[in-house]
Chains A and B, each alone.
Chain A
Amino acid sequence: MIVRIMGEGQLKVADSHFVELNKLDDELLEEMESGDEPGFRRTLTALLDAVRRLGTPLPDAALEPSELILPAPDATLAQVREMLSDDGLIPG
């Protein structure tokens, strides 16, 4: 599967790793919904590290859509919440 880390680019991650990644992803969503900023920061960092560790970067010129998209490492809980809301703040 292709994963995009916002602000960094895309990586290809083997499907076998998604059990581990999904667990972190669910945790991240819970922390976001409960407003647990420190927990959110911790889990996001762990998730990004795992994706970088397990994935292979796609070449810059690749035009493939990503199945999964992760916020940038410095994204705040509020920003991510906003991106996931209906109109979001994603331009264009």
Chain B
Amino acid sequence: MSGVMKRMGMIFRAKANKALDRAEDPRETLDYSYQKQLELLQKVRRGVADVATSRKRLELQLNQLQSQSAKLEDQGRKALALGREDLAREALSRRSSLQQQVADLQVQHQTLQGEEEKLTLASQRLQAKVDAFRTKKETIKATYTAAQAQTRIAESFSGISEEMSDVGLAIQRAEDKTAQLQARAGAIDELLASGALDDQSGLGSKDDIQAELDRLSGGNDVELELQRMKAELAGGPSAQQQAIEGGAPGAAQSQQTQHRFDKQ
């Protein structure tokens, strides 16, 4: 019984031989194969570029998610200072679902980086082999008759064709992976754009917390400042502020806020 590596070796060799057998004149096979190699090299380079593009896009998204997460943390802090624990809880729970997305994307990012490295090395290996093949091909064509060349061609051809099969597979897999990630990245872009990153909360707009905070702090900043001054004048420490429900009574929250009233 032969193992996996022996069988794979045989399969690759059989593939290379089949390609050679089809040729009328083996020297033509050399030229044809060289063309194929150049095409594959182009494809590998494109593959590396695609992976790099996906990686950069992921990095951008990660930055956006991180800053979104920092903003929610600020909002949570502010809400707490205004005595609105409910708002603070909401902000922090959204933040935690964002953090999950971030952790998830970081794993994807690592995968892509690994993929990019592997393909870059594969592309260098293939380039070196293609150069060697070109030199050898010209020597064979110049030195031997078609009949004599057969063996020499077979030798160099199976070496390069094996490399091509290997790189071809790597490229296929990288393409599949990037396609999956692109789709995911697209979905995250939409989420970022719509501000609905907090699926679980069931609240449509991400600005509802900010709107509520703006409404509260409209009157409260002054009130809070007054409280702090009074405390200072009284010689006491400016204690943790208690809630002062201010603002317009029952101000309706707009559900579809298009504009953001960020104070930052």
Contact = CB atoms under 8 A, between A and B. Distances in A.
Contact of A60 (B2, B3, B19, B129): B129
Interface of B: 1-9, 11-13, 15-16, 19, 36, 118, 121-122, 124-125, 127-129, 131-133, 136, 155-156, 158-162, 164-166, 168-170, 172
4 closest Cβ pairs, A-B complex: A25-B3, A60-B128, A91-B168, A63-B159
A91 B169 contact: yes
Contact of A66 (B128, B136, B162, B168): B162
A38 interface: no
B11 A83 contact: yes
Interface in A66-92: 66-72, 80, 83-84, 88-92
A7 B164 contact: no
B153 to A, nearest CB: 11
Interface residues of A, number: 37
Interface string A23-36: 01111110010000
Contacts of A3: 5
B3 A63 contact: no
Contact of B13 (A22, A24, A47, A65): A65
B172 A65 contact: no
A90 B11 contact: yes
A75 B108 CA distance: 18
Nearest to B12: A69
Nearest to B170: A7
